[in-house]
Chains A and B, each alone.
Chain A
Amino acid sequence: MKKEKILIADDSEMNRSILADMLSDSYEIIEAEDGVQAVSILKNSVADLSLLLLDIVMPRMDGFGVLEAMNQNGWIEDLPVIIISAETSSSHVERAYELGATDFIARPFDAIIVQRRVVNSLLLYAKQKRLISLVEDQVYEKERQSDLMIDILSHIMEFRNGESGLHILHVRNLTDLLLSCLVKKTDKYKLTMADISLISTASALHDVGKMAIDEKILNKPGKLTDEEFEIMKTHSAIGANMISDLPVHQQEQLVKTAYEICRWHHERWDGRGYPDGLKGDEIPISAQVVSLADVYDALTSERVYKPPFSHEEAVDMITHGKCGVFNPLLLECLSENVEKFLATLSSDPIDELKRSKIRSISEEMLKNEGGGVSKRTLRLLDRERMRNNFYASMTESVQFEYGINPSMITFSGWGAKKLGVEEIIMNPSQDPKLNDILGEGAWPKLERAVRATTPEHPEMRLDLPLKTGDAVRWYRLVTRSLWTDDAPPKFDGVIGTAMDIHDSHSKMQELEKKAARDPLTGLLNRASAREKIEFKMLDHPQSRFALAIIDLDDFKKANDIYGHMFGDEVLKFVAKNLRESIRESDVSGRFGGEEFLMFLEYKTDIEKTVDRIRRSVCGVIENYTVSVTVGVALSDKVGLDYEKLLHAADAALYAGKRGGKAQYRFYDDSMKNLLESDTQDI
């Protein structure tokens, strides 16, 4: 098999050759030493490439420039890009993602991670392309076959009925036109694009009952006798019976619609039609429209008993009630669309039909009805999956998708192997092997957690032990729930990854055990808190963290007035509140004196969280009101550096104290010099 080609764009020859060495066993490597060269290679051979590994800082044109060029030329849709850079500040990451990068690999390079990421990206793209072409093939095939069947059926019926060769196709087309016009006039029939397509398709069967009528009557050149006409009239009821006698498919909307059309396409708006004498909107709209289309086409076509009429003559005859009585709204549609009707009848109807059909099908798919998948949905899914993949950090992770209808879970190939399960599992909640891996009680817990997600907050995180082989290891599950586009949205399934966090989990527990605690409050002491915080940052270099110092306001007063014993009670009170208002995975500590510290990982809206915690820490104890000031520093702003975070939080705290206490403050650059001048004061 031909090796896939990977383009590496990096100005450092050494970095290129390290990557090339890691990948050259399985891939063909092409190198570019700056952005300009990369773009010129892309220009010549983007179609031959499978992946781009892209550095950000390069001479002449940097990585962002390359991404921009890829966007301008539309290459970004076809070629996955992994950013390889030491620039992992979140603004860089964000910008690269916005420009369409699929993944990041941070320096220093780790051979296994590089290989894994490359394989993942290639697999995802291959899968996406395969899915898209699968969907397109299905649509095409479905359409081709139904068109073929209808063409054959039409031809047989027309042959027998002696109608013009295009009658059935004309009726379908006119039906489509009339309905499209009707939905613009009124919404009382509640017709979607899919309904319109369905009725147009079913219209092909309107005269199927004529199969049972004697050919002599059908093709009689002169006027029918009353007796013959009565026989002729039975074709609508007969056609309906043919449909309702079908042994299968009775629940299909197409079959139901075909029944309506067959039975009632000779009813009249004034109730004087046949076979049932239905009146006005008692007649299903499908039959009303086909009835009008049928009459119009019969008038404008040549028959054994008459020459063709012009469009104007036909419309005139119809609107003056010479050929039946119709829904006034439909008559409006007929007279308002002269050009369109003429165009429809003179153009190649099959071509026209196909176009309209493709349009309605693709619209249906965009609406994501009936499990249809659009390119856009695929891309969104994919993007999300890659994001998860990225946040899954440097660990190997099991990726999966879960859908509720049908209830099915799909694992990525590697994930299935790692867990020792099939790639596709139907009814996963009942699957013995999966339940064995998850352990007892895990499934309901998972269901609860997933059910708690909302379209606004679709993500869920859960740490749980999984049994793979004989070993039990801790995994972190991160999922994103999916909803349909309906209003209200319906839960549709989840996509997610499970990362092996066993080592860090054990390390964390070990730290937890060893951690020295403050004897009074039971919180971590300064040194242990630091150790734990630094470990967390090291373990999750891509996460966002907030470090906060919580300082009691006027604590000296409490000590002076109520005594030290009471002061200790206040400290214990605050510690307890603090511990209860943060998550287990967060860090809290006592810093000595009346200073506490907390350290949180967050995604969005950290301000709300800080505000909530600040409020819940405060309270009244024996008539003494506890009030605190909180200074917060974010790793986004300050960096993943304990000392810097602490320093910044301290500055923010100082700003808060100066600003009147009993509040929280987030560090910003305006506080930069706050501590230099008067650190000694506090």
Chain B
Amino acid sequence: MTIEQCYALMGSDYTDVLNRLRSERLVQKFVLKFLDDKSYELLCTSMETGNNEDAFRAAHTIKGMCQNLGLTVLMRSSSELTESLRNGPTPESGPLFEQVKADYAMTAEAIKAYKDSLEA
């Protein structure tokens, strides 16, 4: 699998991110690193325990990473979740969190597939 195919799988625009980061090596490096980031775990636990401050920050961080990596789909849902948590949780936060979960799973799966294809 090429990195470009991986982006297509994630519903994201590879050309855009390449234009910004200027090198395929960098895109590859950071996309693979994305899976190591702990923000998603923090988001899940703090959503469960109702720690809104941490949840907001975690969502915000995910959004920022997605922006930088051009992961459009997850960026959209995490951005909406961030806004819904900004001034304390709102009724939309729950459904939006579910959406983030789904988008994250999809994104992570694509990246994992790409990673496996590199190692194969």
Contact = CB atoms under 8 A, between A and B. Distances in A.
A13 B65 CA distance: 9
Nearest to B39: A12
Contacts of B61: 11-12, 57
Given A109-B20, A111-B20, A17 B33 contact: yes
Contacts of A15: 64-65, 68
B98 interface: no
Contacts of A11: 57, 61
Interface centre among A11, A12, A13 (most CB of B within 10 A): A12
Interface residues of A, number: 19
A107 B29 CA distance: 18
A59 interface: yes
B70 interface: yes
Contacts of B65: 12, 14-15
Interface in B1-58: 17, 19-22, 26, 29-30, 33-34, 37, 39, 54, 57
A520 interface: no
B26 A12 contact: no
A258 B21 CA distance: 68
B64 A107 contact: yes
A108 interface: yes
A116 to B, nearest CB: 13
Contact of B67 (A13, A22, A86, A112): A86
Nearest to A115: B22
Nearest to B25: A21
**For the side of the interface on B, what is the size category?**
20 to 34
A126 interface: no
Contacts of B68: 14-15, 18, 107-109
Contact of A111 (B21, B29, B37, B67): B21
Contacts of A18: 21, 26, 30, 68
Contacts of B26: 18, 21
A110 interface: yes
Given A12-B65, A14-B37, A86-B67, A57 B30 contact: no
Contact of B20 (A12, A17, A108): A108
Contacts of A110: 19-20
B107 to A, nearest CB: 14
Contacts of B57: 11, 57-59
B22 A12 contact: no
A57 B60 contact: yes
Contact of A12 (B19, B29, B64): B64
A11 B20 CA distance: 21
Contacts of A108: 17, 20, 67-70
A417 B20 CA distance: 24
> By CB atoms of chain A within 10 A, which of B21, B63, B68, B69 has the most?
B68
Contacts of A21: 26, 29
Nearest to B60: A57
Contacts of A58: 57
A57 B37 CA distance: 17
Contacts of A107: 64, 67-68
B79 to A, nearest CB: 8
A507 to B, nearest CB: 17
A12 B30 contact: no
A89 B119 CA distance: 43
Interface in A12-58: 12-15, 17-18, 21-22, 57-58
Contacts of B69: 108
B23 to A, nearest CB: 8
B100 to A, nearest CB: 16
B33 A12 contact: no
Contacts of A57: 57, 60-61
A26 to B, nearest CB: 14
A110 B29 CA distance: 16
Nearest to A86: B64
Nearest to A108: B67
Nearest to B61: A12
A454 B106 CA distance: 57
A109 B20 CA distance: 7
Contacts of B64: 12, 15, 86, 107
Contacts of B17: 108
Contacts of A12: 37, 39, 61, 64-65
A22 B64 CA distance: 17
Given A21-B26, A109-B20, A13 B37 contact: yes
23 contacts: A11-B57, A12-B37, A12-B39, A12-B65, A13-B37, A14-B30, A14-B33, A14-B34, A14-B37, A15-B65, A18-B26, A22-B21, A57-B61, A59-B57, A86-B63, A86-B64, A86-B67, A107-B67, A108-B69, A109-B20, A109-B68, A111-B22, A112-B22
Given A18-B68, A108-B17, A109-B20, 9 more contacts: A14-B37, A15-B68, A18-B30, A59-B57, A86-B60, A107-B64, A108-B20, A111-B20, A111-B21
**Those 8 A-B pairs whose CB atoms lie nearest each other, nearest first:** A107-B67, A110-B20, A108-B67, A111-B22, A12-B61, A108-B68, A57-B60, A14-B65
